[in-house]
Structure 1
Amino acid sequence: GQCAVNITDFLIENCPLLKPVQLLSDIIEAQQSQGTNHVLKHIRAVGFEEEYYSADALNMLANLADGTYEGLSAEGLAGEEAIPVLDGKVIVHSNYYQDFVNSLRNTFDRLELILEGEPAIYIADKYARTFIVSVFDTDNDGYVTAEEAAIERQLYWDRYSDANKVQIADLRELNAIEGSPSQLTNIKEYYMGYRNTETGNQMFYLNTSIEILGIGTNVVKVSQRTCRGCTNLKKVILNDKVEILYGDPFRDCVALTEISDIPDTCYEIGGDCFNGCSSLKSIVIGRGVTQISSSAFRNCTSMESLFIKTAIPPMLGNDAFTNNHCKIYVSIGSGAAYKAATNWSAYADRIYEYDF
């Protein structure tokens, strides 16, 4: 009711007809706009058994595991129970989000959950969820199960009228043919699906909104200009299968501070790959690299260290470290070879051996 936004304490014991879980869910939903400063703080619900034909109440209950709520003692006193007290049974006859169920079970050991549907994939961003469900939900129940997610589908963002409202697109569990991510003009985080073997050329070229890119588990080629000029990109998550970083995929990503280690499978770092990544402090390159092309780390003005694990100096293009004063760490016993190698010799005074 209208008072739900003002409720601070919730205590119902052994009054199952009141449906305390439903009441609690309604209060949490009413206070969603309050964020982590929600008025409701202390909760105790004991002796309930409730049955549902949708997982909505369960989804709301999952908020109680976020650490911003506490419990009440049997006497109604705060400060004696660190987490909300939920002691009863909930039966759900529908599909449900496995992430929420895991969170509830890990937090509330006196809460019994009986689930008769299938686990579904949770998509946090409501605009991304609307589009993904419209593409993958074959039985129209509002959920995407693992079985539905495994069926190859076309996920073309230019076909979605609210693409510009999506902030997080997590496709990691989807067999998606991805198209037109450039339409995601307000995207903050993008995690590619497992079907892709390469990023698209100019995938997020000059997108000034994106902050995190995860390339997916099966990408082997990071294409040209994947994120060139993405001035707010802070983090890139690679996988352990990448073979080549083509020319300038991350050029002028001036906010980039974190990138996964470049794996041993990678044999080439293309020209201008990280040119102008002026906030990047360190990078690790695996044992498989045979070529680092021209200007690959040029203008990385904050770079302090570059670790390269291969004992055989890769071919190094011109100006690879121009306006970049980082120390270069190579495997023990390979220092002399690096210091004598073509173009590496120009940086001999800052090449050091390192025990990997």
Structure 2
Amino acid sequence: MNIPTTISKIGGTCFNGCKLLKNINIKNIQFISGNRIFLNEPILLSIRTPENIKEINRNEIKQRDINEFIIPTTITKLTDECFSGCTSLRSFNIPTTVNELGSYCFCGCSSLTSIIIPSTVSIIGDECFDGCSSLTSVTKTLKESNEENTKCVLV
């Protein structure tokens, strides 16, 4: 589903019960309700967010059955519980504009296998990856230094 550029706001539970919705592309949204806009859409596979959003609210994505989420480079923070319970989320690319991962951000993402955290992330919240049972590699790229080893791998 492509949301036309003439739409600038999405209200709460807008897509409630859209059981066949698989993809959504939101280009010009300036406001997404503080309440959940997705609810009971069991096969939503991917969400492409608008380029002007600064923060992803925990209520929008939490417990979604999505495989992929493309984050625009305007995002600076992934809030608490943002992707919590997204059990089908396998891959995740954190842009270098992000500086904070909230508490429980990826909690319960049982299909997530690896994640690369850019050097711009300076805050990783409590239990950020709790319950990520398939996670085998978390790589945190450190800020540039004169040392040869500029990556830290958390095992």
- Please indicate, yes or no, whether the TM-score normalized by the shorter chain is above 0.5: yes
Code of the aligned partner of 2:52:
K
> What TM-score results when the alignment is normalised by the length of structure 2?
0.77
The equivalent of 2:106 in structure 1 is 297
Which of 230, 237, 240 is the equivalent residue of 2:41? 230
The equivalent of 2:130 in structure 1 is 322
CA distance in 1, matches of 2:45, 2:87: 11
The equivalent of 1:258 in structure 2 is 68
Deviations along 1:72-119, whole A, 9 cap, x unmatched?
xxxxxxxxxxxxxxxxxxxxxxxxxxxxxxxxxxxxxxxxxxxxxxxx
Structure 2: stretches of 5+ with no match in the other structure: none
The equivalent of 1:281 in structure 2 is 90
CA RMSD of aligned residues (A): 2.7
Offset at 1:305? 1.7
Q: Percent identity among equivalent residues?
A: 19
Deviations along 1:212-236, whole A, 9 cap, x unmatched?
11112x2355444222442211111
The equivalent of 1:248 in structure 2 is 59
Question: Kindly tell me: are residues 247 and 314 of structure 1, through their superposed partners in 2, closer, same or farther at Cα, counting changes over 3 Å?
Answer: same
Offset at 1:308? 2.9
Question: Kindly tell me: are residues 221 and 286 of structure 1, through their superposed partners in 2, closer, same or farther at Cα, counting changes over 3 Å?
Answer: farther
CA distance in 2, matches of 1:269, 1:205: 23
Is the CA contact (8 Å cut-off) linking 1:263 and 1:285 kept in structure 2?
A: no
Deviations along 1:53-72, whole A, 9 cap, x unmatched?
xxxxxxxxxxxxxxxxxxxx
Offset at 1:192? 1.1
The equivalent of 1:191 in structure 2 is 2
Q: Secondary structure at the match of 2:58?
A: coil
Bigger CA radius of gyration: 1
For residues 91-102 of structure 1, the aligned pairs below 5 Å read none
For residues 157-172 of structure 1, the aligned pairs below 5 Å read none
CA distance in 1, matches of 2:59, 2:21: 17
Question: Kindly tell me: are residues 338 and 222 of structure 1, through their superposed partners in 2, closer, same or farther at Cα, counting changes over 3 Å?
Answer: farther
> What TM-score results when the alignment is normalised by the length of structure 1?
0.37
Question: Kindly tell me: are residues 257 and 212 of structure 1, through their superposed partners in 2, closer, same or farther at Cα, counting changes over 3 Å?
Answer: same
CA distance in 2, matches of 1:332, 1:301: 26
CA distance in 2, matches of 1:306, 1:196: 33
Question: Kindly tell me: are residues 204 and 337 of structure 1, through their superposed partners in 2, closer, same or farther at Cα, counting changes over 3 Å?
Answer: farther
Count residues with an aligned counterpart: 148
Q: More helix by proportion, 1 or 2?
A: 1
Is the CA contact (8 Å cut-off) linking 1:308 and 1:329 kept in structure 2?
A: yes
Is the CA contact (8 Å cut-off) linking 2:79 and 2:105 kept in structure 1?
A: yes
Q: Secondary structure at the match of 2:61?
A: coil
Structure 1: stretches of 5+ with no match in the other structure: 1-189, 340-347, 351-356
